[in-house]
Amino acid sequence: MNWLKILPIMFYPKSPPHMVLIILSLFALSYHINGLENGLARTPPMGWLSWERFRCNTDCEGDPDNCISENLFRTMADLVVSEGYAALGYEYINVDDCWLEKSRGPRGELVADRKRFPRGMRSLSDYVHSKGLKFGIYEDYGNYTCAGYPGIIGYGRSDAQQFADWNVDYVKLDGCYSLPLDMDHGYPEFGRQLNRTGRQMVYSCSWPVYQIYAGINPNYSSIIEHCNLWRNYDDIQDSWASLETIIDYYGNNQDVIVPNAGPGHWNDPDMVTSHSIVQHFRCLMFFLRQLIIGNFGLSYEQSKTQFALWAIMAAPLLMSVDLRTIRPEFKAILQNQKIIAVDQDPLGIQGRRIYKHKGIEIWSRPITPIYQTYYSYAVAFVNRRTDGTPSDVAVTLRELGLQSPTGYRVEDLYEDVNYGVLSPNTKIKVKVNPSGVVILSAHVQPERITRTTYNPLNYYHVK
């Protein structure tokens, strides 16, 4: 069956297949938005952070190996380097909520919990930097953080300087215990305070998500101007249902979300809890952006799906997993260099869902290299079905918008199979496991095709 003739596959409704490339080209050219130009986050940030796996575990007496403490972050920094993650681009070690004392110091300064961080945050920052990594920290634009620790209200200037003095490289500012209407002023002002310190710090905002839940339309022009990345939606949970919700949100709202992304300014897709819970307990939430691969709630196939779609969506790749115990097959997903390259593509064009029908979705992202007016692409085939059997999807490259007469070198990025140079009229059929993914790269070629080559597997056919 030719899936892409059932429903429109384009970025805009009712566009015929031969218009895909033209629209993609216009899309790429028309959304160069001037964002925060602090020279940082030219590709989506990558690293490790604590929240999804370790939450707000402050019981260092009863659970010393897993509590939020300097020992945990030093251990994870060690493993990010020794286990090969740093060499692949995972560079940030980010502390989240629950690192503070419950009250400020005598001069109004932030104070790390004296028992769990006895050497202080500057010492932890120095340790992370000694490993060749970068150090990130959490605070909140409110009276309190989401877990009830001191927020920045009334202390923005001194807190920004304190972060600079600690040699912080990445600041995530949450939005609990604050008024969403005040965020249009407060988030830009704290960003200015960070810049005034003279230290370059990636600025991650939770600004739009709180306004969305308050019924306010975020001013994305201002958000792009002042933030390197921002949350559009709610927390990730360690489940496939949570992952599906965020996939749907980004697919259903892509016309609003996608144009805002680009080098230096990124959408930050995290997962979602029940909407009713969000509305009633918004101030208790922790807005993060983790990869939950290697924890407890996702199968192997579902973990592959998250990583592939995060790459298509140009999302930050921030692991939140216990690197001491992660199983080899999940580690291999997180260390897939070819999919990381898709996520880190320098064009910075966020991908889109171009097809959806009966549980089958196709997502596509323009990437480098470019030849003449033709982009290369990463294409993800996603099976949202749960009927217990793999699904076949058959489509020509042309129907995916790949129309260069010079052809495309096609590769399966999980199976590491190179199918050679294929023409736009070549039909491929992929077999996608339930809740799984097949992700391909199609690199446009600089010379006209003289022949078509391929190396098919039993479950993947080219003809």
Residues 86 and 179 in one domain: yes
Residues 188 and 267 in one domain: yes
**Residue 144 per-residue DSSP state:** B
Choosing from 293, 310, 343, the residue where a domain stops is: 343
What pLDDT sits at residue 52?
A: 84
Residues 79 and 12 in one domain: no
Residues 53 and 145 in one domain: yes
Tokens at 293, concatenated:
């691969």
Residues 252 and 107 in one domain: yes
pLDDT means per 10 residues, the chain with 463 residues, are: 33 36 40 60 96 94 98 98 98 98 98 98 98 98 97 98 98 97 97 97 96 94 97 66 85 94 90 28 38 65 94 96 95 97 98 96 98 97 92 97 97 95 96 96 84 41 45
Asked if residue 36 is part of any domain, the answer here is no
Residues 22 and 121 in one domain: no
CA 113/CA 212 separation, integer angstroms: 33
Using H for helix, E for strand and C for coil, what is the string for 229-290? EEECCCCCCCCHHHHHHHHHHHHHCHHHHHHHCECCEEEECCCCCCHHHHHHCHHHCCCCCE
159 catalytic, yes or no? no
- The structure tokens 């939140």 sit at 320
What pLDDT sits at residue 297?
A: 61
**Residue 334 per-residue DSSP state:** H
Residues 95 and 241 in one domain: yes
Residues 327 and 370 in one domain: no
What pLDDT sits at residue 275?
A: 28
* pTM attached to this predicted model: 0.85
Query: What SS3 state is found at 121?
Result: helix
**Residue 153 per-residue DSSP state:** T
Residues 148 and 126 in one domain: yes
Q: Which of 86, 81, 92 is nearest to 47 (CA)?
A: 92
Asked if residue 326 is part of any domain, the answer here is yes
What pLDDT sits at residue 120?
A: 98
Residues 73 and 24 in one domain: no
What pLDDT sits at residue 239?
A: 72
Catalytic residue among 174, 268, 270, 343: 174
CA 298/CA 295 separation, integer angstroms: 7
CA 376/CA 443 separation, integer angstroms: 5
Residues 286 and 383 in one domain: no
Burial 404-417 (b: 16+ CB within 10 A, else e): bebbbbbbbbbeee
Q: Which of 204, 445, 414 is nearest to 309 (CA)?
A: 414
Residues 141 and 105 in one domain: yes
CATH assignment of the domain containing 287 = 3.20.20.70
Asked if residue 119 is part of any domain, the answer here is yes
Catalytic residue among 96, 97, 234, 235: 235
DSSP symbols for 417-428: EEEEEE-TT-EE
Tell me which residue range forms the domain holding 372.
3-31+349-462
- The domain total for the chain is 2
CB 379 within 8 A of CB 4: no
Asked if residue 39 is part of any domain, the answer here is no
Choosing from 343, 366, 386, the residue where a domain stops is: 343
CA 39/CA 37 separation, integer angstroms: 5
Asked if residue 40 is part of any domain, the answer here is no
268 catalytic, yes or no? no
CATH assignment of the domain containing 413 = 2.60.40.1180
Give how far Cα 287 sits from Cα of 55, 225, 257, 322, 409, Å. 12, 21, 17, 19, 39
Asked if residue 198 is part of any domain, the answer here is yes
Choosing from 343, 369, 394, the residue where a domain stops is: 343
